Amino acid sequence: MDIRQVRYFLAIAEDGSISRAAKKLYISQPPLSQQLKALEEELEVKLFERTTRSLEITQAGKVFRERCLQIMELMDSTVREVRDSVSEMQGTLSVGFVASSGAALLPHRIPDFNRKYPEVTFQVREGSTHRILDLLNNGIIEVGIVRTPFNLENYEYVELPGERMVAVATERYLEGWGEERLKLNELKGLPLVIDKRFEKLIIGACQQAGFIPKVLCEGEDSRSLLGWASSGMGVAVVPRSAGELLPSRDMVIREIDSSSLNTKTLITWVRNRTLSRVAQKFIETFKGEGQAE
């Protein structure tokens, strides 16, 4: 398998047709069909099911397509890094972030960085911590802005100051809540909407407070959790910086008065992997605020 076959496969997968893909690639149909057949024989799987009108991608084809997209992105990022290595501060900063952290950090960081280094461009991706770590591991991004907890063994990081978690809900859940802070046991019996990653942390804190929480829904994205809370579905328990993502001004935010409900943001990168100068400079902007590991 070579990079040409990867390009050919992605073109066929996008168009669902060998003839249409051949036109886009400016090659004739028979050689393209032969390349696809050779690729399937090498992989020993069917990538497409042939029908009378089109090609239907198989489950194996979908898995292969995801990896091929990552291969192409890695090729692009490799070219950028090689070019960046011969210039002082030009190139592209590729960074990924989780919504609850990036919403608070990036709107200020990237403009400030751009003013200092105007020749730098940016590629920014958003996703869950698991997704951002996957992009880091595969070399698609150089720097990730993620939240604990996760296994830190393969990463270097700068740890930013921790932040308390907050309860966010519509006014229907407001009765009995304090003006600024909320005692953890005031969540007893209320339907909670939580991030799956914080499940153990939240349930453990509630049990220490003497009750088992009523978890109505688990998700992986702060925007979704806040959207559900905005609909009146329940009380979202999220990091304080997620307040930047509120979908409605009518929602109520209260800090939860519990030292055990604490989460941290990490600026992280893969251990023992060479960083571009641009990424190194970006990471340095955080080192005065937290603890490097």
What digits encode the pLDDT tens for the residues 249-267? 778 888 898 888 888 889 9
For residue 7, the enclosing domain spans: 3-76
What's 167's domain CATH number? Answer: 3.40.190.10
What pLDDT does residue 293 have? 59
Is 224 found in the same domain as 169?
yes
Q: Are strands 252-257 and 181-183 parallel, antiparallel or unpaired?
A: parallel
- In angstroms, rounded to a whole number, what is the distance separating the alpha carbons of residues 229 and 199? 17
Q: Are residues 29 and 66 in the same domain?
A: yes
**pLDDT score for 287:** 80
> Is 31 a domain residue?
yes
Cα 268 from Cα 278, distance rounded (Å): 15
Per the structure block, which two tokens stand in for 221? Answer: 């994205």
Give the per-residue pLDDT at 87: 53
Residue 163: the pLDDT is 84
Assess whether 274 and 217 both reside in one domain.
no
Q: Does residue 109 share a domain with residue 229?
A: no
Kindly tell me the sign of the dihedral angle through the C-alpha atoms of 242, 128, 201, 154: negative
Residue 234 lies in a domain: yes
Q: Is residue 139 part of a domain?
A: yes
- Residue where a domain stops, chosen among 76, 95, 123: 76
Q: What is the DSSP string of 59-72?
A: HHHHHHHHHHHHHH
Q: Same structural domain for residues 144 and 272?
A: yes
97 plus 137 within the same structural domain: yes
Residue 82 lies inside a defined structural domain of this protein: no
Residues 255 and 276 in one domain: no
Let me know if residue 102 belongs to a domain. yes
Residue with tokens 């393209």: 32
How many separate domains does the chain show?
Answer: 3
Domain-located, residue 188: yes
β-strand pairing of 181-183 with 55-57 = unpaired
Contact call for residues 139 and 247 (beta carbons, < 8 A): no
Does residue 91 form part of some domain? yes
Please check whether residues 129 and 274 belong to one and the same domain. Answer: yes
Question: Which segments of the chain have a pLDDT < 50?
Answer: none
Residues 25 and 49 grouped into a single domain: yes
Q: What's this model's pTM, rounded to 2 decimal places?
A: 0.61
Q: Is the peptide bond before 149 cis (omega within 30 degrees of 0)?
A: yes
Closest CA to 112 of 88, 93, 87, 134: 93
